[in-house]
Structure 1
């Protein structure tokens, strides 16, 4: 665990360049340790939950078209809920919305930084077990979403062959493996 540190880069002023419902683009004028000045632009985004729904030594994944990369890709369910009371509540909501599954147990595995060079957004990783099927209630942006269960060996092969390229899903799976190695 790292301890809080004195910032080595100091913010002189900050300007909001653009904002919408999902993000704020900021441009900060900064001073580096050697005294030189510069700018640092980054996205200010709310944190989100990523859920690893596990049962029978396999995992439920969702697949959807991702506009920025112009292709469909598989990942673990994930997302944010505006005004959610907690990351735990967000995890339950996102799991149910995207997959229809409800979890008897939602275990927090940890927190990860999401693209820490361009955003302050963090993801809260949860393991969902004791799953009960139900009907998904997807948002309009998720209307093309599909879901499927994959055995652990298939998931790992999908990561290796590029069917799963979402860095958050791969990092979350690594965290799961480090905390709970397969038997």
Structure 2
């Protein structure tokens, strides 16, 4: 964070040296809180590793009058689905994840790895493949950058309701071959997250967002087909 000036570092902090006029002028509470797309000039983007699922790149770019170099996972993006049945139970799936040496509880999710496939279509496909379900009602629940300091991965989490069983010809292999599904009351899932028994970031985010949305009469839900501008920006070609 070296690019921040001392004045910036104290902005909005009472007694940090900013004049009252400056604080009034900024009026941060009057500006909607939102991430901001940054226009940064990439001078060079080098492919370091071509992976099975994602790549590792090294970018050289201009920022704050300096030339910086950063390595990161170049990720295609992903979708996830919080399936909620008529009894307000959510579908969780236990799956082995080698990097963390755990079988964790997850919601159905998958990569945006089919060229040209919209996020909603990918979510519908994942729900069928991992849970043998289809949904009549879809809403956009949440959008995330999962680890923006090290990966370009953007994720959309959808809320799926009015569920029905569906047949498909997808064959689960590798870790997916031993998936264990479990229907859990939403309130119980919230307690498991807050108690630290469920630590998957996507599951935790989805469960807490759904609980909050439910408490507000679902008025936070959005159109599932909204343009996915955050992923488009993260997947920009830059200087490649």
TM, length-normalised to structure 2:
0.68
What is the CA–CA distance in structure 1 between the aligned matches of 2:164 and 2:106, rounded to whole Å?
20
Call closer, same or farther: CA 1:160–1:124 in 2, change over 3 Å: same
Distance 2:37 2:92 in 1: 37
- What corresponds to 2:131 in structure 1? 99
Q: 1:165 to 1:42 in 2, by over 3 A?
A: same
The structure that is strand-richer by fraction is 1
Asked which structure has the greater CA Rg, the reply is 2
Q: Please list every run of 5 or more consecutive structure 2 residues that lacks an aligned counterpart in the other structure.
A: 1-32, 218-240
Deviation at 1:10, TM superposition (A): 3.8
Instruction: Go from structure 1 to structure 2 and tell me whether the alpha carbon gap of 1:144 and 1:84 turns closer, same or farther (over 3 Å shift).
Output: farther
Task: Indicate whether 1:148 and 2:178 are aligned.
Answer: no
Unaligned regions of 5+ residues in structure 1, if any? none
Tell which deviates more after alignment, 36-45 or 68-77.
Answer: 36-45
Deviation for aligned residue 1:98: 0.6
Deviation at residue 31 of structure 1 after TM alignment? 3.0
Q: Paired residue for 1:160?
A: 194
The Cα offsets for residues 26-46 of structure 1, whole Å up to 9 and x where unpaired, read as 10123331x333310111111
- Give the whole-Å Cα distance in 2 for the aligned partners of 1:150 and 1:138: 25
Give the match for residue 86 of structure 1: 118
Name the count of aligned residue pairs. Answer: 181
- Residues 137, 162 of structure 2: 8 Å contact kept: yes
Q: TM-score, normalised by structure 1?
A: 0.87
